[in-house]
A and B are shown apart, each in its own frame.
Chain A
Amino acid sequence: MKLNTSHPIFSAYKKNPKLFDEIFNKNGEVKQIYTKLFELYGGLSVEDFVNLNDKAKASFFNQGITFQVYSEAKQKEKIFPFDLFPRIIAPDEWQTIEKGAIQRSKALNLFLWDIYHDKKILKQGIVPVSLLSSSVNYLDQMMDLDPPGGIYNHVSGTDLIKHSDGKYYVLEDNIRCPSGVSYVISNRTALKRALFGVFNHYRTHSVTDYAENLLDILESVKPHGVDQPTCVVLTPGMYNSAYYEHSYLAKSMGVELVEGRDLYVENNFVYMKTIKGPERVDVIYRRIDDHFLDPFEFMPDSSLGVPGLFSVYRQGNVCIVNAPGTGAADDKAIYTFMPEIIKYYLGEEPILNNVQTYHCSKPDQLQYVLENIPDLVVKPVDEAGGYGISIGNRLTKQQIQEVKDQIKANPRKYIAQPIMSLSVHATYIEDSHSFEQRHIDLRTFTLLGKDKEFVLKGGLTRVALQKGNLIVNSSQGGGSKDTWVLKK
């Protein structure tokens, strides 16, 4: 395609009136918060922009901020596509998000304590027992175990969208090993390098304080009797798709990045193998899944974990972050009870909206789902990364039948929600050399420690790069944007 470099970068922008555009209002005018940015970008020619875009890409590649895509014959390094047009969130809007994210994290923490202790919420019938008894992520081993500081979900990633009604909705809570925070920081770095001039016109919150807050949180949940805890980040290794993030977090906290084989258990303590012999480890921020943590307790053939780790944890001599078994609370079936969970433990109304959800495990709702598949999104409750999702209005008749059969075969496995319309944001599309509307979401990062809480002022705005696509996960070809939270 030959480049016509003279026309301004926004000239081909088509606005679909059915979609909620973050930049333009209903009359097609630029929203006030974006005016300055729009002026600055609008002045660039396509050629200028292509240069900037290439520079940003090279910067990511050289920094080694790449990931590997699963299920490809030869694992290939890819850059997480990065869009140079930032998303801006106004201060008051952000306040709601921040308060809501903390509220959810606290409620989930109390819920986890309850389901691994007295199970009051189940006994009182507010959340059905069957949801937990059938959950593969519920760990019997965690029963009656008190995690240090009473915290389970130290790190939470909350996925939010803005619907066509202009309101934020939570799509899911990620409280196992939510990833993506390193991209928030590297996106900011890349944008600052490429377009430093634009920052002068906005008062944006910094995102570089995440690591120091994370270390604070980790140290706040140190085992009893430890004065200066030794914290580490536990990674599955350099071939993991999120390895960059693991190394970034370790480096920016100034702690060791360990693999399972670097740790061992002796006399009820965990040690790492250093060049000067063993050194005791007190807090492990683990980035491997529960089932790989300890072959003695969980999957016996796991080589990623540390034999005996769980028994040390049970003794209270090491803290595992996030606690094992948090997956019982972040699956898509529990999600639908979040309003009730928040009310039950905190006595508050939920600050952030939940999407109306139909449980295929309930016969009446199952019936509704089966009859209305074209208007619904059907999701398996226990899959991560956007896998296994069916979007009703994209399916052929035959595919609808297949989905129905799948649901009928295993109703507990599925939930359905109305098709939410994610808001759109101007995004640079390489193939057409212009900005186009693309769907976005937002992942926020919340930290919860003993008497401490923190929400990163910013977040990962993920973009579905394919036209019309609603799935923003990086494993499904999504990209991301720098996200500015403005100061008051």
Chain B
Amino acid sequence: MLARVANNLFWMGRYIERSEYIARYLNVNYFSSLDAPHPLSQSRQFVLRSMLFMMGQPVSDPDLELDEEEVFFDITFNEENPFSLINNVNYARDNANSSRDQMSTELYESINKFYHAVQNYPVEFFKKKGLYDFTVYVTEMTAVLRGKIRGTILHDEIYAIIMLGINLERATQIVRIINAKYNDAKLAKGSYGDAFRNSYEWTTLLKCGESYDMHRRLNKKAPNSISTLNFMLLNAQNPKSVMNCLNQVYNHILVLDSSLINDKSTVKFYIGKIRSEYEFKIATEIEDDIQENIDDLLNKLTIISQKIEEEYFNY
């Protein structure tokens, strides 16, 4: 496979996954805030700030009055904002275009259809009352795309590269959500016992990762900081957990690098090392200094991505 095409496929996977997390973050935060227990969690301004923080565009001025429609537009359909959802979809399709000879017609057609649907979405309708419809559409389409990836292309190097992109992006988004919600939980504390640990924001966090029901099934109680961090970071059975993503990333890198000698300079070695580290982590240790752990993990995910680029896409 061409190095350039591999690069395109990797980023196609990342942008598809990223679109999903942006859409779900908007959806979950907006709708769970409507009847949230803490007055702050219910506040429009609080929710909008959380959204912008998650997008990597935090608002530092505490007095700034944000306009709901403007923020929604900025995050979704503003093509001048490089991080906007519509640009993510554009990038995903651009990357698919330059590698379309490698993928199945079915996969390409779905991406292309998705692109046209987002391009032609009635923006005014979205601003006024389309938030739910649109964000649900995006999350469903990304699931369709993953289905086409899994079900219509050869599970060879091409698949491995797309899945590397998807899983690295998923791990990154989950950590970013934890980061955003950790900040929210510090402000909007719970009403009983350890106020921080019992914040409603942990519930929102799980919902942003499509993990609330499964957390409930496993733990049989309302989420707190420890159970949430455990579930989202360390539980390998949870398909959305960082641990699960790291396992998958490791399996896919083995498809690209099947050498038996463990060369310590390879990205395979590095991924294996991080994976082992997280296999033996304990949630309470992470909770002791959440921010530092988040920063450290984000940094390591970035290094994995960079090392993949250096080793496979550099041309």
* Given A61-B116, A63-B109, A275-B312, A251 and B100 contact (CB-CB distance below 8 Å): yes
Q: Does A62 contact B (CB under 8 A)?
A: yes
Please report which residues of chain B, range 99-114, place their CB below 8 angstroms from some CB of chain A when the two chains form the complex: 100-102, 105, 108-109, 112-113
Interface string of A232-275 (1 = CB under 8 A from B): 01000110000100111011000011110110000000001111
In the complex, what residues of B have CB within 8 A of residue A272's CB? 2
Contact A275 B157 (CB under 8 A): yes
Q: B119 — nearest CB in chain A belongs to which residue? A: A77
* Interface membership of A64, Cβ < 8 A: yes
> Contacts A238-B98, A251-B101 known; A258 to B2 CB distance under 8 Å?
yes
> Bound state CA distance, A272 and B6, in angstroms?
13
Question: Once the chains are docked, how many angstroms separate the CA of A310 from the CA of B286?
Answer: 60
Q: Is the CB of A273 within 8 A of B109?
A: no
CA distance A452 to B121 in the complex (A): 51
Q: Which A residue sits closest to B4, measured CB to CB?
A: A262
Q: Give the number of chain A interface residues (Cβ < 8 Å).
A: 23
The yes or no answer to B1 lying at the interface (CB within 8 A) is yes
For residue A308, give the distance in angstroms from its CB to the closest CB of chain B. Answer: 17
Which residue in B4, B100, B113, B161 is a CB contact (below 8 Å) of A247? B100
> B3 at the A/B interface (Cβ < 8 Å)?
yes
Do A275 and B100 touch across chains, with their CB atoms under 8 A apart? no
Complex Cα spacing A256 to B8, Å:
14
Q: Which residue of A lies closest to B312 (CB)?
A: A275
Residue of B94, B109, B315 most packed against chain A (CB within 10 A): B315
Smallest Cβ-Cβ distance to A233: which chain B residue: B101
A274 touching B3, Cβ below 8 Å? yes
Q: In the complex the two chains form, what is the Cα distance from A291 to B108 in whole Å?
A: 32
Q: Output the least CB separation between A170 and chain B (Å).
A: 33
Q: Which of A62, A246, A273 is in CB contact (< 8 Å) with B4?
A: A273
Q: Which of B1-45 contact A (CB under 8 A)?
A: 1-6
Using known A-B contacts A238-B98, A275-B312, determine if residue A259 contacts B112 with beta carbons closer than 8 Å.
no
Is the CB of B97 closer than 8 A to any CB of chain A?
yes
Least CB separation from A279: chain B residue: B2
Instruction: Give how many B residues have a beta carbon under 8 Å from the other chain's beta carbons.
Output: 24
Which of B1, B102, B108 is A275 in contact with, Cβ under 8 Å?
A: B1
Inter-chain contacts of B312 with A (CB < 8 A): 275
A64 in contact with B108 (CB, 8 Å):
yes
**For B108, what are the chain A residues with a Cβ–Cβ distance below 8 Å?**
63-64
Within 8 A of A (CB), among B123-139: none
In the assembled complex, B256 has its CB within 8 A of some CB on chain A: yes
Tell me the bound Cα distance from A237 to B100 in angstroms.
Answer: 12
For A261, the chain B residues whose CB sits under 8 A away are 4, 315
* A232 CB to nearest B CB, Å: 9
The chain A residue with its CB closest to the CB of B112 is A64
How many Å lie between the Cα of A257 and that of B8 in the bound state?
13
Cβ distance B41 to chain A, nearest Cβ, rounded Å: 41
Tell me the complex Cα distance, A337–B181, Å. 77
Return the chain B residue nearest A62 by Cβ.
Answer: B113
Specify the chain A residue showing the minimal Cβ separation from B113. A62
Q: Could you say which residues of chain A place their CB within 8 Å of the CB of B2? A: 256, 258, 262, 272-275
Beta-carbon contacts of A39-83 to B below 8 Å, as 1s and 0s? 000000000000000000000011110000000000000000000
Instruction: Give the docked Cα–Cα distance between A60 and B67 (Å).
Output: 40
Expressed in whole angstroms, the minimum distance between the Cβ of B9 and any Cβ of chain A is 10
Q: With both chains docked as a complex, state the minimum distance between the C-beta of A59 and any C-beta of chain B, in angstroms.
A: 9
Which of A257, A274, A275 is B101 in contact with, Cβ under 8 Å? A257
Nearest B residue to A243 via CB reads B97
Query: Bound state CA distance, A275 and B8, in angstroms?
Result: 12
Q: What chain B residues lie within 8 Å of A61 (beta carbons)?
A: 116
> Hey, which chain B residues are within 8 Å of A247, CB to CB?
100-101
Determine the chain B residues whose CB is within 8 A of the CB of A64 once the complex forms. Answer: 97, 100, 108-109, 112
A binding-site residues for B, Cβ under 8 Å: 61-64, 233, 237-238, 243, 246-248, 250-251, 256-259, 261-262, 272-275
A-B contact pairs, 19 of them (CB 8 A): A61-B116, A62-B112, A62-B116, A63-B108, A64-B97, A64-B100, A64-B109, A64-B112, A233-B101, A247-B100, A256-B2, A256-B101, A261-B315, A262-B2, A273-B2, A273-B3, A273-B315, A274-B2, A275-B313
Interface residues of B (CB under 8 A from A): 1-6, 94, 97-98, 100-102, 105, 108-109, 112-113, 116, 157, 161, 256, 312-313, 315
Return the 4 tightest CB-CB contacts between A and B, nearest first.
A250-B101, A273-B315, A251-B101, A247-B101
Knowing that A257-B101, A275-B161 are A-B contacts, what are 20 other residue pairs whose CB atoms are under 8 Å apart, sorted by A's residue number?
A62-B116, A63-B112, A64-B100, A64-B112, A243-B97, A246-B101, A247-B100, A250-B101, A251-B102, A257-B5, A258-B2, A259-B4, A262-B2, A262-B4, A262-B315, A272-B2, A273-B3, A274-B1, A274-B3, A275-B2
